[in-house]
Amino acid sequence: MKLRYSPRSPFARKVLVVAYIHGLTNRIELVATPLSPVAGNDELARENPLMKVPSLVTDDGEVLFDSPVICEYLDALAGGDKLFPPPGPGRLRALRQQALADGILDAIILCAYELSQRPADKRWPAWIEGQMRKAHQGLAAIEREEMSGALTIGPIATGCMLGYLDLRFPDDGWRRRHPRLAAWYEAFQQRPSMAATKPPAD
């Protein structure tokens, strides 16, 4: 299998965590793929018309994207019903948690692009405020989620999201606002799968 990824992408990290947990890392060729929010990447576009990572080419030559699809595919390779529970309340909870974490990441990334790509005199403060409001509301919702029990894709997505939040907005103060979530993350980030996939610092 071939995985196009960016070393700092939290969505790619989620895939790598799943691969690590299932012992699939030695079956995946990692291809670091430069990305830009404004410039195209023709090589990536030939596999993924959305020009996003992660993007996985299976051993059969099928291209899969985005991270929820790839993660579920890897879970199926490992026998299924592990990180993605079978139909029922447990699966809905795991998928809801993943959707929350991924949605928060979407808002955080839009803010990061606004601050890093747009000249200071052309930035839109109301846009940044609106996106960070979504992120903060999402964090408050995750604070109320139950993360104990068997490991699923929900806590994995949440852990990768919090790691990216720390990377891009280290002064956000989410730990002060959400002490229960902070305590959970302090233990979760020590897991071997999280330590092995920690992104490089800027």
pLDDT for residue 42: 78
CATH of domain 89-196: 1.20.1050.10
194 in Cβ contact with 17 (< 8 Å): yes
**pLDDT > 70? residue 148:** yes
Domains of the chain: which residue ranges?
2-77, 89-196
The per-residue pLDDT for range 153-180, each reduced to its tens digit, is 999 999 999 999 999 999 999 999 999 9
| pLDDT confidence bin for 195, thresholds 50/70/90 | very high
Q: Among candidates 105, 102, 161, which has minimal Cα distance to 131? A: 105
pLDDT for residue 44: 83
Query: What CATH architecture applies to the domain 2-77?
Result: 3-Layer(aba) Sandwich (3.40)
Cα–Cα distance for residue pair 202/200, rounded to 1 Å: 7
Q: Average pLDDT, whole number, for the chain?
A: 93
The per-residue pLDDT for range 70-103, each reduced to its tens digit, is 999 999 999 988 999 999 999 999 999 999 999 9
**How many Cβ atoms are within 10 Å of 80's Cβ, its own excluded?**
12
Give the position of tokens 């080419």: 57
Predicted model pTM: 0.94
| pLDDT confidence bin for 120, thresholds 50/70/90 | confident
**pLDDT > 80? residue 201:** no
